[in-house]
Structure 1
Amino acid sequence: MKEDFLHYLWKFRKFDNLNLKTAQNELITIIKPGDYLELSGPDFFNAHIKIGDQKWAGNVEIHLKSSDWYLHNHEKDPAYENVILHVVWENDTAIFRENNTEIPVLVLKDYVSQEIIENYYALVSPKTWISCERQLNEIDEFIFKNWQERLFFERLERKSAFVYELLEETNQDWEAVLFCMLAKNFGLNTNGNSFLQIAKSIPFSIIRKESFEAGSLEALFLGTAGLLDGEKEDVYFKDLKFKYFFLLHKYQLVKTHVDPVLFFKLRPDNFPTIRLSQLAEIYHKHQNLFSKIIALKSAKEVYNLLNVSSSEYWKNHYQFDKESSKKAKPLSKSFLDLIIINTIIPIQFAYSNTIGESVTEDLIDFMVEVDSEKNAVIDKFNSFGIKSANAFESQSLLELKNEYCNNKACLKCAVGIELLKNN
């Protein structure tokens, strides 16, 4: 049994509320269970409880065993001095306040039905992909849709934490933050960290100054990536290498080390040479890109704005010195969908928070236009009858699986709580 089960029992009063007594044999009447706080300090804040003939207002702390109070060092924390009731599953020791008065204890196991306990174990115990996979499609659609919205914004909150980190690193330069985010996501999972290191290695002021010449940006990106090291017969390679070292000298840059970019197991269109060239073309085509990104309201606008291809050389190359059949290499719709999900929407969300604007409905409408992601997690939910029609739904399902199902956090999940209620 986990403590979150006791939190659930107390929050929803899933126990016999009649004739409750403390371990000290005083009658308990719960007027208000308090507000559940998932922060440091007592579990439930501002509870109203009558113990014996005395009404109390204060906090409630919950543990599996009463001795956990000392295990967690609550006796040393002033935040726990206002605890009016200690709710436990097992009462194995008395707990005293600083003034030497004993804290009343409610032993919850004496008032919980065996049926509720069995339902709890039936939910959290199965060794399946997710605990509720056989019951998931029984959840009321209204409840599930509301939960999906909450999950979507929880995921955005986590993603925006990285945006705020970059803001601190760039002295609140949103253009530089966008550049770092775009670079990272142009590298996908394989080269994302390397591309981010490349972006962080080049002051964005230089990107601004050199954006009028796409070849200069390409030389900077490929040179910083280490792709211009060594010697080759290729004329374009020599030209980029000359430009790169000229720019190092011009801006007095020190050639920095970044993690090697990888080609292995990548589809050719995702080779770092192609993606870095496309990134250079974007910044050549668009000055003040951040203001344009913030103004976007639909996927179609993204496809129009970021309609770029790699430079001319890469139309018949994937690597230097290796000519291939000629093929234009524009940013594909599926790739731009990933940029919307992982760059544009998080940037818009974080920016709206910093200026105090609410764009929740706009972001949902935006994501509904984007195709659902296709991966093993989404396929598995689909097999349980939970379809993902768009990126709003697929992002919600990924958050559900990664942050709730994987952590067996059923009692913090609207689905788990609803299933226990129904049972």
Structure 2
Amino acid sequence: MRFPEEFLHFVWQFRLFDTLNLQLSDGQPLQLLHCGFPNKHAGPDFTQAKIVIDDTTWVGQVEVHLKSSDWYHHQHQQDLAYENVILHVVWEHDMEIKRLDGTTLPTLVLKDKIASHLFNNYQNLISSVNSFPCENQISTIDSFVVNNFLSRILVERLEEKCTEIFERLDQLNGNWDETFYHFMAKNFGFKVNALPMQLLAQSLPQNLFAKHKDQALQIEALVFGQAGFLKQHFEDGYPNLLKKEYLFLSKKYALKPIDISLWKFLRMRPQNFPTLRLAQFAALIVKSNHLFSKVLEVKNVKDLSLLFNSLPIHSFWETHYHFNKEAEKVSMQLGKSSIDNILINTVALFLFAYGKYTAQANFQTRAFYLLESIQPERNNIISNYLEAGVTVQHASQTQALLQLRKNYCNHKKCLNCGIGLKILKQ
């Protein structure tokens, strides 16, 4: 029977084997008092295990292998960290292992002590060709177990994303407002145009906008000019005014626009065209420069969405999706789903990151409340779990499901998943 070493780790950690009349490979009786704790760092697999051999109690480390000979294959005989191992747990005992002092390492063989249903459950998960391994079984798991694990990996997701924030924060000399501005710009690109939006923010620091506070036309000129959209010929008065302003401002601040070819329009709904997103982004800057400071000030998380409503977008965009393409009627304001996207992927994330960085748990709590106040996201990944019987009530759960798919289901890490472990034990 073939399985990874992690499966044996799982069996040992949760004591899922016959523990009656345990004997070592040499026939000595073994009493197992404690299996120990998984070691997440370098060294033996489990620490603080407690066993009794020949009336002597041993406390120390346990190493788990499929075969005894893996001890040598993994070069443990050359690592002093393994000299404190008190028990070698293996599936198959194919050779005696000697410590550096010449004593034989006690070995426990599990080959005939594991119930067949564990193997069957594991094989059913790992060999699954469904959209995710436990698609056919997850509906049988108590919702408390599912939601408890989702809560755990929501924190895991937020902490993973914090890494990128802290790296950029360091690059920007600890300026939270500027860091937030960069990530907000990226979010306004909504994946397809995230990169050019990010480059735009890097080329236009917030303090530049602060110099033109209450001058909407100049802020719009800076945004569209740096985005590369003001190099063309225009018929309308508004874009020509922007072009004139940008020519002056670009010389004043020695600005160089990004390449217009980076922006993507193909296979997009007109409401998502980058020109309209840029108009909305410019209006957000006009309405709330240094936005992160305002985010921190809002006590009621439900009021955070008001920061993105009623943006002062120029009336030109009521009839245009593009500078030289007129339309009958354009929905200028950000829709609810777009605002929710920003709240989930930027605002909640930054509240959590700021709370973690400054050791102020109340901001992390606000991040969780915010996610719980937003309706569940809808996409193909979430639909797979809904169709399988998972119930979601808010965005914190859908964010956790995205993490579940990315870090667990896609890699079939069922042995590291609280839901998978419950299925394996059934």
Given the two structures, how large is their TM-score scaled by the length of structure 1?
0.92
SS at match of 2:361: coil
Say which is worse superposed, 341-350 or 305-314, in terms of deviation: 305-314
What is the match of residue 149 of structure 1?
A: 151
Give the Å deviation of 1:411. 1.6
Instruction: Please give the root-mean-square deviation of Cα atoms over the aligned residues, in Å.
Output: 2.3
Structure 1 SS opposite 2:377: coil
- Residue number in structure 2 paired with 1:122: 124
The superposition leaves residues 16-58 of structure 1 with CA deviations (integer Å, 9 ceiling, x where unpaired) of 1122223233322222211113333322122122233332222
Aligned residue type for 1:333: K
- Alpha-carbon offset, residue 258 of structure 1: 7.8
| CA 287–201 in structure 1, closer or farther in 2 if over 3 Å, else same | closer
TM-superposed deviation, 1:270: 1.1
Report SS of the residue matched to 1:20: coil
1:159 to 152, 161, 172: 161
Asked if 2 retains the 8 angstrom alpha-carbon contact of 1:378 and 1:388, the reply is: no
Structure 2 residue 325 is the aligned partner of structure 1 residue 325: no
CA apart distance, 1:255: 4.3
Superposed displacement of residue 174, structure 1: 0.5
**1:146-186, CA deviations, whole angstroms, 9 ceiling, x for partnerless residues?**
12211221221222222112112211110111111111111
Structure 2 contact 206–290 (Cα < 8 Å) conserved: no
Mark the CA change 1:73 to 1:175 in structure 2 (over 3 Å): closer, same or farther. Answer: farther
Corresponding residue for residue 187 of structure 2: 185
Mapped partners of 2:140, 2:343: distance in 1: 32
User: Of 105, 108, 112, which residue of structure 2 is paired with 1:106?
Assistant: 108
What is the match of residue 355 of structure 1?
358
- Give the residue type in structure 2 aligned to 1:411: L
TM-score (norm 2): 0.91
Partner in structure 2 of residue 401 of structure 1:
405
SS in 2 for 1:110: coil
List gaps (5 residues or longer) in structure 1. none
Map of 2:20 onto structure 1: 18
Aligned partners of 2:233 and 2:81: how far apart in 1?
Answer: 66
Does structure 2 retain, via aligned residues, the 8 Å contact 1:197–1:258?
no
Q: Does structure 1 retain, via aligned residues, the 8 Å contact 2:25–2:109?
A: yes
Give me the whole-angstrom Cα distance separating, in 2, the residues matched to 1:259 and 1:311: 24
Give the length in aligned residue pairs. Answer: 422
Aligned twin of 2:240: 238
One-letter amino acid of the counterpart of residue 122, structure 2: Y
**Which residue, out of 191, 195, 198, partners 1:196?**
198
Aligned: 1:252 with 2:231: no
Shift of 1:73: 3.8
- Correspondence for 1:316 among 319, 322, 337: 319
Q: Which residue of 2 aligns with 1:367?
A: 371
* Secondary structure of the corresponding residue to residue 406 of structure 1: helix
Please report how far the alpha carbon of residue 372 of structure 1 lies from its aligned counterpart in structure 2 after TM superposition: 1.0
Partner of 1:391: 395
The Cα shift of 1:233 comes to 3.8
| SS of aligned partner of 1:109 | coil
CA distance, structure 2, for counterparts of residue 251 and residue 75 of structure 1:
64
Q: 1:288 Cα deviation (Å)?
A: 3.0
Quote the offset at 1:210 in angstroms.
3.3
Please say if residues 274 and 310 of structure 1, whose CA atoms lie closer than 8 Å, have aligned partners that are also in contact.
Answer: no
Q: State whether residues 66 and 95 of structure 1, in contact with CA within 8 Å, keep that contact through their aligned partners in structure 2.
A: yes
Q: Conserved in 1, the CA contact under 8 Å of 2:162 and 2:349?
A: yes
